[in-house]
Amino acid sequence: MKKTNIMKVAINLSKMFYVRILLALLVFQGQTMLAQSVSVSNSKKNQTYTSVVNNGVHKIHVKNSKTDFKVEYEGEITLSDDDKDIVDISRGGFIEIKKSSFGKKRKIVIEAESGKLNKRYYVGWSEKDYYPEGKAWLAEILPEIVRSTTIGAESRVNRFFDKGGVNAVLAEIRELKSDYVQAKYFGYLLQRDLSNSELTRVLQSSGKNIKSDYYLAQILKSNQKAFLSSPETISAYITASKNIGSDYYMAQVLREAIKTDDINDNQLTDLLQISEDIGSDYYLSQVLTDILKNRELNKSNMNKIMKLSNNINSDYYKSQVLKKALNKKNLSSENYETFISSMDDIGSDYYASGVINGLLKKDLDDKSLDKLLQLITKNVSSDYYASGIYKRLSKKKLNDNQLIKVMDAMKRNISSSNYLSSSLISFAPQVKNSSQRVKDAYMKVAKSISSDTYFGRAMKAIY
């Protein structure tokens, strides 16, 4: 009995232990979620940059083949004009720099205290005199830290810009060590009031220097109204966009640009040119359907969208784009021709019939009816789906010549006695009230039905 009680106590203690562990993990997870972190890997420069911000304290770790340093700071850091010293830190702020190089560890701690900077220098675990050794070491490593992090980024951009304009800032950006840091500098530069020629240089530089699709996309989305303001900047914008390898980020850039009300038809044409580089059916269809949904299109741009839909291999996504296109008003005859050619490689009867049924929502003159019948013949091989289209077509008011064309096409398209009979019957109300020519065309099709039962049903429908 005692042994059993001891075991129960042990089990309860064990449960309490695991509950505490679980609670500790939940608390830790909650604290971690409060932190904002970004991790960037730059394979070209063989450098890893990690930055974590928690309650206003920045922790940065930069590591490459030659060096490994960590920086922790809080507050606004002000650098000297030569980037070799820290001349001010906002009230209550601090910075701690640790560096390991070839087994040697050194550290500098600078704290803002009562309007002054308290500076300390350590080698290993021992504190050394800050002057002159610590100051010299800070002057040695600070330029590298500055170019590897975003410390002082905004003030540095302003300083370079005031001294040498855009070119000076771009020259400094080329020396920065990661896409993340470069993107921050580009962001601060774009806050300036830049001319079109300066914006063009920024676009050219970002497209050339930023290798990360994510950060390049962020730059291109950040100032689209200005980037798309002139032929010069649009050309540079397109060139920079072509450096984005990810269909996801390319689609993001384009979909954001489409939302801009100030984009005119010519600018939209340029954006559609960028869309040609999207290989994903899903993302290309997203871009095209967004345009069709949100913009009124001229004949040229509608034609361009129809042609771009040819790049979509998926029947599903292509049909989504084409059905959206059919909802647009005033499609030109040229648009219809391009539409029909875009339908050519839809192999699925289901998706092809879905698009063709969309055409039935439009008014049908003789020419558009011919195109509709042509599409059924070319794209729908299933008697079931062809019959469904003809039954919907029977609800349209057609003249005698149109009805005769439909009868002839029906005979060519449908081989099943069941589906041919039911399709004919759907037209019977119109045929009864039409000329003898139409009745003769109807009976000619009915006589091609091999089943006596279905033939009888078709004939009974008009008498």
Tens of pLDDT, residues 307-346: 999 899 999 999 999 999 888 877 777 887 888 888 888 9
Where are the domains positioned within the chain? 1-34, 47-151, 152-221
Does 163 have pLDDT greater than 80?
Answer: yes
User: Residue 45 has what pLDDT?
Assistant: 56
Q: Is 96 exposed, middle or buried (0-12, 13-18, 19+ CB in 10 A)?
A: middle
Does 20 have pLDDT greater than 60?
Answer: no
Does 10 have pLDDT greater than 50?
Answer: no
Q: pLDDT for 166-175, tens place per residue?
A: 999 999 999 9
Does 8 have pLDDT greater than 60?
Answer: no
Percent of the chain with pLDDT over 70: 89
Alpha-helical runs (H) found in 176-230: 179-189, 196-209, 213-222, 224-227
User: Residue 364 has what pLDDT?
Assistant: 81
User: What is the average pLDDT value for the chain, to the nearest integer?
Assistant: 86
Percent of the chain with pLDDT over 90: 59
**Mean pLDDT lowest for which of 256-270, 272-286, 415-429?**
256-270
- Tell me the torsion sign for CA atoms 246, 252, 255, 261: negative
Which of these, 280, 273, 187, 289, lies nearest to 237 by C-alpha position?
273
Q: pLDDT for 175-225, tens place per residue?
A: 998 899 999 999 999 999 999 999 999 999 999 999 999 999 999 998 888
Does 378 have pLDDT greater than 60?
Answer: yes
Q: pLDDT for 76-128, tens place per residue?
A: 999 999 999 999 999 999 999 999 877 789 999 999 998 899 999 999 989 99
Does 39 have pLDDT greater than 70?
Answer: no
Residues shown for the chain: 463
Does 150 have pLDDT greater than 50?
Answer: yes
Does 271 have pLDDT greater than 90?
Answer: no
- Tell me the torsion sign for CA atoms 312, 315, 317, 321: positive
Does 65 have pLDDT greater than 90?
Answer: no
Q: How far is CA 320 from CA 62, 102, 355, in A?
A: 47, 60, 8
User: Residue 384 has what pLDDT?
Assistant: 97
In angstroms, the CA 282 to CA 291 distance is: 15
The β-bridge partners of 128 are: 121
